[in-house]
Amino acid sequence: MELKEIKLTPRRIELLEKMGIHSVESLLKTYPFRYETVEAVPFEQWEKGQTVCFEGVICSPARVVRFGKKRSMTKFKVVTWNEELEITLFNRPWANQFPFGKNITIFGTYQGNQKVTANNYNFHPLQSQVGMHPVYTVTQGLKQSEMRTIMGKALEHTEILADVVPERYRKAYKLLDGQTALQWVHNPPGPKHLQAALRTLKYEEFLCFQCVMQATQNKDSEIKKEAKSWDQKRLEQWMGAFPYALTRDQEQACQDVLTDMKSEKIMFRLVQGDVGCGKSMVAFTALYACHLSGWQSAFLAPTEILARQHYDNMRQLGLPVILYVSALSAKEKEEIHQKMEQQTDAIFVGTHALFQDSVSFQKLGLVVTDEQQRFGVRQRRALLEKGRNVDFLMMSATPIPRTYAHFLYGNMDLSNIHTMPPGRQPVKTIYVQTTSMKPVLKDVLHYIEQGRQCYVVCPAIDENEEMPMKSVTSIYEGMKTTLKDRVSIGLLHGRMSSEQKEEIMMQFHKKELDILVSTTVIEVGIDIKNATVMVIYDAHRFGLSTLHQLRGRVARGNVQGICYLLSGSKDPKAIERLQKMEELLDGFTVTDYDLMLRGPGDILGFRQSGLPSFVLGDMEKDKAMMEVCVKDASEILKRGTDEQMLAFIKDAVEKAQYFD
């Protein structure tokens, strides 16, 4: 259902689309991130400094006191709770809005001595405003009051979302029907109603994901493949020429992968470990073994610049590799298409261009994806379907505990690389309680003068009144003005085109830029050994695993990497987390600590990546519900009679909407 069908103004539609909301269905699934409770407490219970709300009658003329160019103070008195209170409103110089005898509802802070500083006011009865009120994450230019009005219009059409959970499970687990759950999550009559809505919607999220995941995997689980075989001596000689000895974990991961490839079972394995732990060498070993066995292989990278880096590294190791990316000319692509038809043992490395319809492999036997969470199921499957019973190897620098890996990937096997290659130093992390780069700027400029480069990371692209945080645009402009000609500065963020991003990263790679101001798009990037300094603004806005991924960008060379975590937060828990980052050195301990504190939503990057969008479900707190959903999804698929859920699964698999 289109947004214009609920009679929204073009301005409101534009703001919602800026938030990624393009339909009434996606609007209804945009849940509040917290709730405000409005409660009228009797005057005798008020304490100094307490937030209060009350309805009263204006009992004195309003007067405005001006001080400074745009600053003012409006004062008047109100009778409420049989008390006469003095009200102060800052920067609302409209005395005629507060006539004697008018009813008014005030929200503010009690200062003691019958005085209240008002934060907000309106002329509606307080009784109509008490209760729980949703607070949404909104874009700049959209007020909370507007968002609530918009959501009210959407809630008149909850029937457009199919009730896919079978009725037997709703009865068994005492769940709400879907429409009631949506109404209550957006406008809860009380805490118990909200709890029931959240429980229902969490179950639905987990069940839908499991149904789609199991339906996708069931197609492959019983299929056998032709076991691969190769000259083991040639493989060992090639591995013996590596520039450094493999760590014990790398050796074990290689053994796991090679054993999978030799078997008749289709490989479905995830190799995970920190940035720089040597996952690529495991992947290259699999690619070479596949080449020796006479099969083609494809290595899929998330960006063209990263694909070119892998291509260069493979060539240095003597692999017969061919690069296939969008930037190639039509003639070059046609030549590679011919090689795909003729060279049955070639290795192809590229981006999403590899799974376009025009690409056809003669004998594809292995697919490897780098940073696997950056690719959705539809993209991965499009490449796998270019061969028959293809082995699939994934790599990720975001460690996923086995418990969650089982829920997310079912029959996937895991290989963990904990140890780092010799000579790699952990990044020195320094937490600085500040909102400005000023305390560390001198050090940063000193490192740049030594010839080093620096990343500056911000949590947002643009400024946002509702969520005050540093934006890349404002920091970039500020640094350009402040530093002028002293250093060269580049800007990088997710709204740029792929070509623009590639160009900026290449400039940074070639040392044409000293500082790169960026959002988290650099989390998965090329190895720039000279970039050994990072400054992260509003560090408390990121999960610890994301911070660890980011700082891994400055640990690619032999020089000590340094990461400054800037945060002005006064929250003791936020401060404790950032101080802990100074101690935590590897991704596995960071993930464990972050899971304990925050749950997996940020850790696994659900909302930013190819992993599922669990908006409400918390995999740390809802383990029992997850296990139930694994069982229920299996039962639904075996039974094959739940029409609405089966229709949802079919649609989701076709669109790959739950994963992409």
Residues 80 and 109 sit within 8 Å (Cβ to Cβ): no
Statement: residue 467 has pLDDT above 70: no
Statement: residue 219 has pLDDT above 60: no
Supply angle C-alpha 470, 473, 477, rounded to 5: 105
Percent of the chain past pLDDT 90, that is, above it, reads 50
Statement: residue 464 has pLDDT above 70: no
Which of 551, 584, 617 is at the close of a domain?
584
Is 138 inside a domain boundary? no
What CA–CA distance (Å, rounded) separates 454 from 443?
A: 11
pLDDT at 600 (0 to 100): 46
Query: Do 484 and 576 have their domain in common?
Result: yes
Query: Do 455 and 567 have their domain in common?
Result: yes
Which of 525, 553, 584 is at the close of a domain?
584
Residues 435 and 566 sit within 8 Å (Cβ to Cβ): yes
What CA–CA distance (Å, rounded) separates 344 from 479?
A: 52
Span 521-528, average pLDDT: 70
Is 433 inside a domain boundary? yes
Q: Give the pLDDT band (50/70/90) at residue 604.
A: very low
DSSP states along 124-160: S-GGGT-EEEEE----TT--HHHHHHHHHHHGGGGGG
Is 139 inside a domain boundary? no
Overall domain count for the chain = 3
pLDDT at 368 (0 to 100): 93
pLDDT at 316 (0 to 100): 93
Query: Tokens 């945080």 label which residue?
Result: 469
Query: Do 444 and 381 have their domain in common?
Result: no
Query: Do 442 and 565 have their domain in common?
Result: yes
Is 539 inside a domain boundary? yes
Helix (H, G, I), strand (E, B) or coil at 365: strand
Query: Do 509 and 364 have their domain in common?
Result: no
Q: What are phi and psi of 466, to 5 degrees?
A: -70, -35
pLDDT at 654 (0 to 100): 67
Is 484 inside a domain boundary? yes
Q: Which CATH number do you get for residue 101?
A: 2.40.50.140
Q: Give the pLDDT band (50/70/90) at residue 118.
A: very high
| pLDDT digits 0-9 by tens, 225-279 | 899 999 999 999 999 998 888 999 999 999 999 999 999 988 989 898 887 788 9
Measured CA distances, 251 to 134, 233, 241, 247, 371 (Å): 52, 16, 15, 6, 20
What CA–CA distance (Å, rounded) separates 319 from 304?
A: 19
| pLDDT digits 0-9 by tens, 146-198 | 999 999 999 999 999 888 999 999 999 999 999 999 999 999 998 999 999 99
pLDDT at 378 (0 to 100): 55
| pLDDT digits 0-9 by tens, 577-598 | 999 999 988 888 887 776 666 5
Region of poorest pLDDT, from 142-151, 440-449, 629-638, 648-657: 648-657
Helices (H) and strands (E) in the chain, counts: 22, 21
Query: Do 385 and 463 have their domain in common?
Result: no
Q: Smallest Cα–Cα separation from 431: which of 291, 542, 579? A: 579
Q: Give the pLDDT band (50/70/90) at residue 466.
A: low
β-pairing, 562-567 vs 428-433, is parallel
Helix (H, G, I), strand (E, B) or coil at 529: coil
Span 47-69, average pLDDT: 91
Please state, rounded to an integer, the average pLDDT across all residues of the chain. 86
Q: How many CA atoms lie within 13 A of 367 on its CB side?
A: 26
Which positions ≥6 away from 361 have C-beta within 8 Å?
Answer: 296, 298, 340, 348, 386, 387
| pLDDT digits 0-9 by tens, 306-337 | 888 899 999 999 999 999 988 888 999 999 99
Query: Do 444 and 507 have their domain in common?
Result: yes
Q: Give the pLDDT band (50/70/90) at residue 611.
A: very low
| pLDDT digits 0-9 by tens, 364-378 | 999 998 865 544 455
Query: Do 439 and 565 have their domain in common?
Result: yes
Whole-model pTM over 0.95: no
pLDDT at 505 (0 to 100): 87
Span 53-72, average pLDDT: 91
Q: Smallest Cα–Cα separation from 161: which of 185, 191, 142, 136? A: 185
Supply angle C-alpha 256, 593, 405, rounded to 5: 35
pLDDT at 484 (0 to 100): 81
**Domain range for 388:** 279-417
Three-class secondary structure assignment of 564-592: EEEECCCCHHHHHHHHHHCCCCCHHHHHH
Which of 357, 386, 417 is at the close of a domain?
417
Q: How many CA atoms lie within 13 A of 51 on its CB side?
A: 7
DSSP 273: E
Region of poorest pLDDT, from 206-210, 332-336, 401-405, 622-626: 401-405
Length of the chain: 660
β-pairing, 321-324 vs 391-396, is unpaired
Provide the terminal-to-terminal Cα distance of the chain, rounded to the nearest Å.
21
Percent of the chain past pLDDT 70, that is, above it, reads 90
Starting from the edge strand earliest in sequence, which strands make up the sheet with 347-350, in order? Answer: 321-324, 347-350, 296-300, 364-370, 391-396, 268-273, 413-417
Q: Tokens in use for 484?
A: 């002028």
Which positions ≥6 away from 9 have C-beta within 8 Å?
Answer: none
What CA–CA distance (Å, rounded) separates 214 from 212?
A: 6
Query: Do 390 and 433 have their domain in common?
Result: no
Is 472 inside a domain boundary? yes
Is 613 inside a domain boundary? no
Q: Give the pLDDT band (50/70/90) at residue 384.
A: low
Measured CA distances, 646 to 162, 178, 212, 643 (Å): 12, 17, 9, 5
Query: Do 397 and 436 have their domain in common?
Result: no
Query: Do 444 and 372 have their domain in common?
Result: no
Q: Which CATH number do you get for residue 575?
A: 3.40.50.300
Query: Do 359 and 495 have their domain in common?
Result: no
Helix (H, G, I), strand (E, B) or coil at 187: coil
pLDDT at 553 (0 to 100): 86
- The secondary structure element, H or E, covering residue 35 is strand 34-38
- Residue 506 corresponds to which amino acid? M
Is 170 inside a domain boundary? no
